[in-house]
Structure 1
């Protein structure tokens, strides 16, 4: 399991297995978020199985599927609302962790300086510098 901490509220990861969920719970994660559509790729674990494992381990489960490369404003709004309401810390996963990081970056741009977001993502191993124009569009949008 390759968990990458973005900040004190959220970490991201590539695809998790059912077995990874219990380990994530032992590490203290309270909410598990799937940003990957079910059956996006042959052989990926079923989301129903991961959801069951999350509940069995006392974690909140949130399913916010987003197609890779197709993140729209309504996806950002849903992610933003989720991250504000979720029990923390949150562990979000997708195929590589990039999609989750992009959603976090665009959501966070509503209240945080873009350079802080870029720096946090970089420390976690993700480059979101190319999102600067979209982050600027998100500034101040939180409802």
Structure 2
């Protein structure tokens, strides 16, 4: 089971789910996923293309916005703002642990405040 953390009604974050988890994630009410985990970060992770295909099969949209271990940049925050305007809500963003996603969303909220 995927443990999600709701940041706002529009977006939650989590550690990387498996591709098999995406159908369940959709039944939990999520309409989109955003991968903030760079492909190849770990040898055992599902790559974005596999996650995208599983998301589409489950009825969700998917976007790839990789954030490296140093954290989100100003460009990353702007890109996430654009995704928040175009992807169907609610959105579930994931990375290895969810921490980079949460930092990205917090930076976006601070910028918009």
Q: Report the TM-score, using the length of structure 1 for normalisation.
A: 0.75
Residue in 2 that maps onto 1:118 = none
Rounded to whole Å, the distance in 2 between the matches of 1:6 and 1:19 is: 24
Secondary structure of 2:34's counterpart equals strand
Which blocks of at least 5 consecutive residues in structure 2 are unaligned?
Answer: none
Residue in 1 that maps onto 2:29 = 28
Rounded to whole Å, the distance in 1 between the matches of 2:59 and 2:71 is: 31
Residue in 2 that maps onto 1:97 = 98
Residue in 1 that maps onto 2:59 = 58
The answer to whether the Cα contact below 8 Å between 1:32 and 1:54 also exists between their aligned partners in 2 is yes
Shift of 1:7: 1.6
Q: What is the 5 A alignment of 1:9-48?
A: 9-48=10-49
RMSD: 1.0
Secondary structure of 1:110's counterpart equals helix
Which entry has the higher C-alpha Rg, 1 or 2? 1
**Which structure would you say has the larger RCO, counting Cα contacts within 8 Å and 6 or more residues apart?**
2
Shift of 1:2: 1.3
Shift of 1:111: 2.2
Which blocks of at least 5 consecutive residues in structure 1 are unaligned?
Answer: 113-143
Consecutive aligned runs of 4 or more in structure 1 exceeding 2 Å deviation = none
Shift of 1:58: 1.0
The answer to whether the Cα contact below 8 Å between 1:80 and 1:108 also exists between their aligned partners in 2 is no
Structure (1 or 2) with the greater strand fraction: 2
The answer to whether the Cα contact below 8 Å between 1:32 and 1:92 also exists between their aligned partners in 2 is yes
Secondary structure of 1:103's counterpart equals helix
